[in-house]
Amino acid sequence: MLYHLFNYLDKEFELMGAGVFQYISFRAGMAALVSLLVTITFGKALIRLLQKKQVGETIRDLGLEGQLQKKGTPTMGGLIIIAGILIPTLLFARVENIYVILLLVTTLVLGAIGFLDDYIKVFKKNKEGLAGKFKVIGQVSVGLIVGLTLYYHQDVVVREFNTIENQILTDQVAVDKTDKFTDHKSTATTIPFVKNNELDYKLFNPSGIDAITAAIYVLIVIFFVTAISNGANITDGVDGLAAGSSAIIGLTLAIFAYVSGNAIFSDYLNVMFIPNSGELVIFCTAFVGACVGFLWYNSYPAQVFMGDTGSLALGGIIAVIALVLKKELLIPVLCGIFVIENLSVIIQVSYFKYTRKKYGEGRRIFKMSPLHHHYQKMDIPESKIVTRFWIVGILLAIMTLATLKLR
C-alpha cells in the first residue's frame, strides 16, 4: 500500500525521501518495527478483552509442576501475532506479489481454522476442540492451493542469467540491468550440503506426464505444510517456546529470501535466483516482529497463550516460505525443534501401542510427550527448558545458513 503511494509521489512530485520505499531493506526494517508496535499495543488491549470475556484456557491435569496455576490464562492470543503480521505486510509489501498473496492466504486460512478450534474449546466447553479431521482438511486445502499456484502460476519462475555484467549491487526491487536472462518453470529444490545441489521432482515421474509431475509436487507441498503446521502446534506447550523458535526460523528465512531475490548474491552463492521473492523479506521481518512482540506477553509466566489460532498459522507460514524459496529440504534442520517435538509424540505413541500388543501393557520411552513435557517431568524449570530449546534453535539456524557455502 505505502510502497505504491510513495512510488507515485516519487515519480510524479519527486517528493524528497519517497524513493527510499523502493528499497527492500528499508521496508523490511519498517515492517519489523511496526509489527512490534502493533503486537505490544494490540496485545495489551486484546488480553484485557479476553479477560473481560473470561476466555481462559482449560487445563488438563497432567501432573506437571505449576500447570494448574495457568488455569484461566487467556487464550486465542494468536490473534495478536496475526495482526502483527498482516498490518505491516499490507502497509509495506507489494501485495500484488504472488508470493505475498500466498502467505496472506495461508495466514488467514490456518489462523481461521485455529480460531475455530480455540472457540469450540473455550465457548462450547469442548476440551477436544475442532475434530482432527477438519484440521487436516484445512491444512491439506492450504497445501493444495499453494502447490497448484507454485506449479502453474506464470509469475512463479526461476531466472538464469547468461551474464550478469553491468549489474548494480543493490536491494532495490529491480536488481538486474540486463535482459540477458532466461525465465523458466522449475520443480527443482535445494539439497543441503551437496555440490550442484538441485533435485528436480520430475525425476520421480519417469513418464514425463505433466499432470503426474504436478500431482507429485502438490503432494510434497501438502506434506510439508501439514507436518510443520502440526509441529508448531505441538511445540506450543510451554510459555514462549513456539513463538521464540518461530522468530529464530523466520529470521533465517528472511536471509534466504534476501539472497534468493538478489541477482548478485544468488549468483555469488550459487543458489537459485527467484524473481520477486525479495518481497518475502518484508513478510518475514513482520513475522519475526510479531513473534518477538508476542513474547512480551507470552514469556514465562505467560499472560496469554497463542492457542491453535497462532500455532497452526506459524507452522504453515514457515512451510510455505521454505517451499517458495525452494528450501523445503532444509526444514528438518531449520525446524529441528518442531520436527523433534513431532517425532517424540509419534515415537511415544507407536512404542506404547507396540509394547501393549506384545507384552500386554504399554511402555513409554519418554516420561511424557511432546519432548518439552519430558523435561518438565524431570523437574527442570520451564524457563530453563525454553531457553535451552531456543539455544538449540539458534544452532540449527546457523547450520542452515552454513549450507549457503558448505557443500
pLDDT per position as a tens digit, 62-86? 556 555 566 778 888 999 999 999 9
DSSP state of 239: T
Predicted confidence band at 244 (pLDDT cuts at 50, 70, 90)? very high
Q: How far apart are the first and last CA of the chain?
A: 40
Residue-wise DSSP of 65-103: TT-GGGTT-B--THHHHHHHHHHHHHHHS-TTSHHHHHH
Q: What is the 3-state secondary structure (H, E, C) of 4-51?
A: HHHHHHHHHHCCCCHHHHHEHHHHHHHHHHHHHHHHHHHHHHHHHHHH
Greatest distance between any 2 Cα atoms in the chain: 80
Percentage, residues of the chain above pLDDT 70: 87
Predicted confidence band at 130 (pLDDT cuts at 50, 70, 90)? confident
Q: Which of 105, 86, 95 is nearest to 4 (CA)?
A: 95
DSSP state of 183: E
CA dihedral 178, 406, 400, 398 (to 10 degrees): -110
**CA 370 to CA 67: how far, in whole Å?**
15
* pLDDT value of residue 74: 84
Percentage, residues of the chain above pLDDT 90: 62
* pLDDT value of residue 280: 96
Using alpha carbons, list the distances in angstroms from residue 212 to 205, 215, 226: 7, 5, 21
Within 10 angstroms of residue 303's Cβ, the number of other Cβ atoms is 17
**CA 107 to CA 312: how far, in whole Å?**
9
pLDDT in tens, 112-125: 999 999 888 888 77
**CA 151 to CA 220: how far, in whole Å?**
12
Q: Which of 304, 234, 301 is nearest to 77 (CA)?
A: 304
Amino acid residing at 193: F
φ, ψ (nearest 5 deg) of residue 31:
-65, -45
Predicted confidence band at 6 (pLDDT cuts at 50, 70, 90)? low
State yes or no: pLDDT of 175 exceeds 50: no
**CA 320 to CA 331: how far, in whole Å?**
11
Look at the pTM and tell me if it is higher than 0.85.
Answer: yes
**CA 268 to CA 92: how far, in whole Å?**
28
pLDDT in tens, 274-329: 999 999 999 999 999 999 999 999 998 888 999 899 999 999 999 999 999 999 99
pLDDT in tens, 348-363: 999 999 999 988 888 9
